[in-house]
Amino acid sequence: MWMRRKLKQTAAMADNEPAHAPRDPAALETAELQAYRQTIARLREGAQAAAKAPEISDAQFGAFMAGIRDGIEAPAPNARGLWALASLSAAALVLVLSLLAIFARPNEPIKATEVESAHTELDGVAVDWYDAPEGMTTVWVTMPEADLW
């Protein structure tokens, strides 16, 4: 916290602001604060140099305006081809990822012959199954002979 105050006081001294200047300027004579003061001076010099806008004389004005006209009348770069290429690339990427998601899965064994449960809602009818050791599953339905269709 005290360092922030010292930096503000150093900046106030560099800007000649007596309201924020420190009571004891000798306390601000550390190497770090002197480097900070030099940085502020370099920034001020750079800002002053950048603030000086170049002036265009009457002799240069025609060439200046011709450059502006050339820039305005120049054809705009064709961004349409870039967007077409980007969308084509994105579509190809989606297609490749979709195909990889479908065909790159490991082969899982087919479990079409496994019967987990069987039931019926018909009165007097029973459903049962039998798994043979060879892997064949048999499902049979038993009903009274009078109910045959």
- The span from the CA of 118 to the CA of 142, in Å, is 13
Going by pLDDT thresholds of 50, 70 and 90, the confidence category of residue 90 is very high
**Mean per-residue pLDDT over the chain, rounded:** 78
The pair phi, psi for residue 126, each rounded to 5°, is: -120, 140
Going by pLDDT thresholds of 50, 70 and 90, the confidence category of residue 147 is low
The predicted structure's pLDDT at residue 93 = 94
The pair phi, psi for residue 109, each rounded to 5°, is: -65, 140
Average pLDDT of 126-148? Answer: 78
Residue 98 has pLDDT above 60, yes or no: yes
| Comparison of pLDDT for 149 and 88, the residue scoring more | 88
pTM to 2 decimals?
Answer: 0.30
- The span from the CA of 19 to the CA of 21, in Å, is 6
Going by pLDDT thresholds of 50, 70 and 90, the confidence category of residue 23 is low
Residue 145 has pLDDT above 90, yes or no: no
The predicted structure's pLDDT at residue 27 = 65
Residue 94 has pLDDT above 70, yes or no: yes
Report in angstroms the alpha-carbon separations of 107 from 58, 71, 101, 110, 145: 81, 62, 13, 9, 45
Average pLDDT of 80-98? Answer: 89
Interval 55-71: pLDDT, tens: 778 888 888 888 888 87
The predicted structure's pLDDT at residue 47 = 82
Average pLDDT of 102-121? Answer: 74
